[in-house]
């Protein structure tokens, strides 16, 4: 058994990708998106985060050493059955905030200061990064939906909502598609999904929202809408929503996140779930339209720019 100092050194030397995955999985447990006692399936997590199984396995091992999850012989890793979690000790993990290099590349892409097609060598030279750093940043950008590897050689940055106008157009698109999805003849209620989303939304309301990472709050909101539209039975509607959610994500990350708005968001999500549980699709469609309309006003980059930061 390695000594505590040796174990700490192993944690410090974990790659930024592994550390970030450990953080994100830990957040899923704390927010109730992974329930107490639930198995942490490596492939399922790899699919969710858009990475291979290897860094996920490392992240789970790291979380186990931190006491946040348990390992059962011959069965794998599980969230603790009693719902308890350990806190990340100071100094043993990299900071939670995004790497400055990640922000720099994202900002330059949003501001048209770098081309849409780049090479890893170009990024290393421009930002003074190592090969490993560039790889981790591009993997993260791919997971966030604004980068993809080109066939053959190089990378391509994808279209995102860079302006207030594009942001509003995305919400207008959602206001057309999401309310209509509940009225589709192929819509089928999935009460397991409803129960899971209710648990997540209620857990967010019970949590100290100021301590939850912004990216986790935004992802939970996107997941709510994506899981509900999946029930319409039309995979093209679901794929379209997933794509536009990714396109708006960078712009929302840049904005000052008014966390009190998220309390309103969670409350409205629960009202939508109430209507769905009554199988009242007309009321659900109306509530969804009202919810998205209000979100457009609350989240508009133009409106956000006029407000003081409330982080």
Q: Where are the domains of the chain?
A: 4-79, 100-157, 164-306
Residue 5: predicted pLDDT: 43
The residue ranking higher by pLDDT, 32 or 39, is: 39
149 DSSP β-pair partners: 155
pLDDT for the residue 67: 83
Question: Quick check: 11 and 93 in contact, CB under 8 A?
Answer: yes
The answer to whether residues 296 and 167 touch, using CB atoms and an 8 Å cutoff, is no
100-157 with 164-306: one CATH topology?
Answer: no
pLDDT for 60: 92
pLDDT of the residue at 85:
52
Crossing angle (nearest 10°) for helices 191-206 and 259-277: 150
pLDDT of residue 90: 40
- Name the residue with tokens 């994500």: 249
Query: For position 216, what pLDDT does the model report?
Result: 72
Mean pLDDT over 50-54 rounds to: 81
* pLDDT at residue number 91: 38
Residue 311 has pLDDT above 70, yes or no: no
Please give the residue that has the higher pLDDT: either 98 or 284. Answer: 284
More confident residue, 215 or 26: 26
Q: Does domain 4-79 have CATH number 1.10.10.10?
A: yes
pLDDT at 254: 62
CA distance 281 to 17: 41
pLDDT confidence of residue 121: 94
Is the pTM higher than 0.85? no
Q: Which CATH architecture best describes the domain 164-306?
A: Up-down Bundle (1.20)
- The CATH architecture one would assign to domain 100-157 is Orthogonal Bundle (1.10)
Instruction: Tell me the average pLDDT across 88-93.
Output: 42
* pLDDT, tens digit, 9 for 90 and up, residues 108-133: 888 889 999 999 999 999 999 989 88
Q: Is residue 186 over pLDDT 50? A: yes
Indicate if the pLDDT at residue 66 is higher than 90.
Answer: no
What is the rounded distance in angstroms from the CA atom of residue 32 to the CA atom of residue 203?
6
């Amino acid at each position: 058994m390695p000594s505590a100092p040796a174990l700490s050194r192993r944690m410090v030397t974990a790659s930024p990708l592994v550390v970030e995955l450990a953080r994100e999985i830990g957040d899923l447990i704390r927010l109730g998106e992974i329930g107490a006692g639930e198995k942490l399936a490596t492939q399922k997590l790899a699919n969710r985060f858009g990475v291979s199984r290897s860094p996920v396995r490392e992240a789970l091992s790291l979380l186990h050493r931190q006491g946040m999850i348990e390992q059962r012989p011959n069965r794998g890793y599980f969230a603790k059955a009693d719902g308890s979690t350990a806190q990340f000790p100071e100094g043993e993990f990299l900071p939670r905030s995004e790497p400055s290099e990640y922000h720099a590349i994202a900002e330059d892409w949003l501001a048209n200061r770098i081309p849409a097609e780049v090479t890893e060598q170009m990024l290393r030279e421009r930002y003074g990064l190592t090969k490993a750093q560039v790889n981790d940043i591009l993997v993260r950008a791919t997971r966030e939906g604004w980068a993809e590897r080109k066939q053959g050689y190089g990378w391509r940055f994808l279209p995102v909502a860079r302006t207030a106008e594009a942001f509003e157009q995305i919400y207008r698109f959602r206001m057309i598609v999401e309310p209509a999805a509940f009225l589709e003849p192929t819509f089928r209620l999935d009460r397991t999904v409803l129960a899971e989303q209710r648990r997540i939304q209620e857990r967010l309301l019970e949590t100290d929202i100021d301590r939850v990472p912004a990216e986790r709050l935004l992802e939970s909101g996107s997941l709510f809408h994506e899981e509900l539209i999946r029930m319409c039975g039309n995979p093209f509607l679901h794929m379209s929503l997933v794509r536009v959610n990714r396109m708006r994500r960078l712009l929302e990350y840049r904005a000052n996140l008014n966390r009190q708005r998220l309390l309103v968001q969670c409350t409205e999500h629960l009202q939508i779930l109430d209507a769905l549980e009554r199988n009242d699709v007309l009321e659900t469609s109306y509530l969804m339209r009202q919810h998205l309309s209000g979100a457009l006003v609350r989240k508009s980059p133009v409106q956000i720019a006029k407000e003081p930061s409330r982080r």
